[in-house]
Amino acid sequence: MLISKVFNPFHQALTRRVATTSILSCSIARNAQVWKHTARLYTTQGDQSILNETRSEKNRAIAAEEYETVPGIVKQNSLEEQDRLLPEWQGLGFPHSILLQLAQHFPHVREPTEAQLLFFLSVSSGNEVYLKDDMGRGKTLAIALEALKLAFQERKYDSKSQKGPRIIIIVPTPHLAHQIFNLLYKLSPPASSSTPLITLLTPGLVAKGDKLPYYPLPDTPIVISTAKNMSQFNVSHTPALTHIFLDEPDTLLGPLPSRHTSSRDLSSHPLIRHPPPIVSILTSLLDITITSQGKLDFSRRRDEINTIWTSATLTRDFKRFLKTRGWVRRGNRVVDLDFTQSASTNKKIFRQKILEAVGAADHAAGLDRFERDARQKKPEHNVMLVNPVTGDMVPMDRDTPSMAQPSSIIPSIKLHPFILENFALLHSVDPPPAGTFSLALPPEGVSLEQVGRDLDELNIPTSILTPEVLQFGLPSFSSSTTQAEGRGEAASLPILLAARSSIPGIHLPLLHRVYLLSGMDVSSLTPAQRKNRGMESRATFYDIVTGRLGRLGMTTDVGATAKVGEQKVVSIVLAETEEHTSLYKMFFPDSKQSSLDNGADTETEGERQPRRKLGRWDMRLLDEIFETKDSTSRTDEGKLE
């Protein structure tokens, strides 16, 4: 490794050179004023709703007048307070107005993690970046901060009229899009004009059977969208575009074909037969064409656009696919950052040397300071087996294997009533701590409204997790909790119901427990999906669900760990079914190769993550309930006789 020169991170600029990669940090742009935010709903042609974040000149004037009424408080102390609160952020090029919002809305974020630090420096230097870090480590927050910094700097130094977005953020779900919009809204610095800074694309209203119209992209520096929503817009003309951020990109693409897939199987692979919207969007944004022979033509590729990829599940096959498609530039200009626990030895050495180069070696030597403020604890895993005949429930352990085979299972009901009844029982007997939530995930395709009605009949309140909830925040139930405790009752918070497809990437600070109703839902896989890594994708999804818990910032929001107890992922499945079999193989892999991946990292063959440890549910209270139920049944039978 060759290092040209290294400065202290607090200096105005930091220059480093590692191998052929050069990373420059941006100079500090100080701005001590704080402005109020307003939101406005705009509509373009064709009833296309676009949600914009706007700051008007009038609101800026009002804010300035308010600060003037308390002379010497905000204007004199903001810089001093900012330097005291976030000293580790001072050399990364963020305006003070952004850092002040960061300190206000995210008080637990006192300094960047090692991954965030190198991510900021890599993107600011003009590199394309892969960022792979464990779930809950602030990757999405890093995207929001870096996108705002870039937009703010380009607005400041570029006086040309805006011609489309400069930064596009593409995500797999509307839930994640709304959540990122909320992050950007909270962190946004003041704009130099009344022009909106951020646009969130929402789906247009098109009558069934009508041809989909193509709208021009909004003329704002930052545009956030799902790939599906963006496919309704004309993305072929974006002259001002400089960066494309993709959060959870492997979810955007879906399962990839294996390197050794035959030509016949490759032609029938879902990615080839029915390409997801992200394929055409990136091809158009980067101006990659297809020749008459069906080959990709990179002669007009827009190399001035940097693509940034962040996910906890990036694999070698995925990166190879990106390079083959031309979605990253050719050559050795992609900074590959892997901060996961399962990173290869070479990746760990690489990141350690870079951290040493930027003066953060002491930060990486032990437990990082960010983590000490909000410790990440792995959740407990539980599997509950429900007897499909009697409805009785027992925890799964090593002595409760299933002999069911996929060919012998013909699912007739997507969500068995016994599963819902036992879920309601578990939640009633062992609810999450006061002020926290439980999240229930039925199989994909099951009506959330119907599940809510069924649980309501069992006296279990529910609330559907919509994208708008993630934008405006979860409702506060502190008042109802206090009232219930005052009456000596247990506080009953609604269970959040969500579609499984909405889970990747989202952050729920008050989440304490996740219930997988019908487990991993492997029985719904079609033969084609099973052939194309469908079973592996189910295991990956289980890890994604687990990643909603034990995240940075969670313990700060819900109180001390001792008060809230251990977070849990609970799977409720019918015994002796394929769901039972798949979970048993995942937690207790036998001597033969399990059909499910148990934490293997495809990028580092032979190296495995620690196995998931199965906990055991305390059944004493449930056993008492079942015994009471049995004695009541016997009494009723005696009366009938």
Q: What 3-state class would DSSP assign to 625?
A: helix
Assess contact for 509 and 564: CB atoms under 8 A.
no
Which residues contact residue 499 at a Cβ distance below 8 angstroms, ignoring those fewer than 6 apart? 441, 444, 448
d(CA 109, CA 103): 7
Q: Are 16 and 28 in contact (CB under 8 A)?
A: no
Closest C-alpha to 142, from 552, 590, 442, 618: 552
Residues 521 and 341 sit within 8 Å (Cβ to Cβ):
no
Domains recognised in the chain with CATH numbers: 81-204+213-339 (3.40.50.300), 344-375 (no CATH), 380-474+492-555+564-590+612-631 (3.40.50.300)
Cβ distance 497 to 437 under 8 Å?
A: no
User: Which residues of the chain have a pLDDT value below 50?
Assistant: 1-77, 159, 364-374, 407-410, 478-490, 556-562, 591-610
Distance CA(425)–CA(189), nearest Å, equals 48
Buried b (16+ CB within 10 A) or exposed e, 369-382: ebeebbebeebbbb
Element (H, E) at 104: helix 96-105
CA angle at residue 377 from 374 to 378, to 5 degrees? 150
Instruction: Please state, in angstroms and rounded to a whole number, the distance separating the CA atoms of residues 111 and 124.
Output: 18
Pair 129, 205: CB distance under 8 Å: no
> What pLDDT sits at residue 502?
95
**Cα–Cα separations (whole angstroms), residue 343 to 112, 121, 390, 497:** 20, 21, 46, 34
Reading the block at residue 48, the tokens are 């296309």
**CB of 143 within 8 A of CB of 308?**
yes
What predicted TM-score, i.e. pTM, was given to this entire model?
A: 0.80
Question: Over the range 124-163, which residues count as b (16 or more CB within 10 Å of their CB) and which as e?
Answer: bbebbbbbbbbbbbbbbbbbbbbbbbbbbbbbeeeeeebe
- For 253-310, write each residue's pLDDT tens digit: 988 877 766 666 676 777 777 889 999 999 999 999 988 887 889 999 999 999 999 9
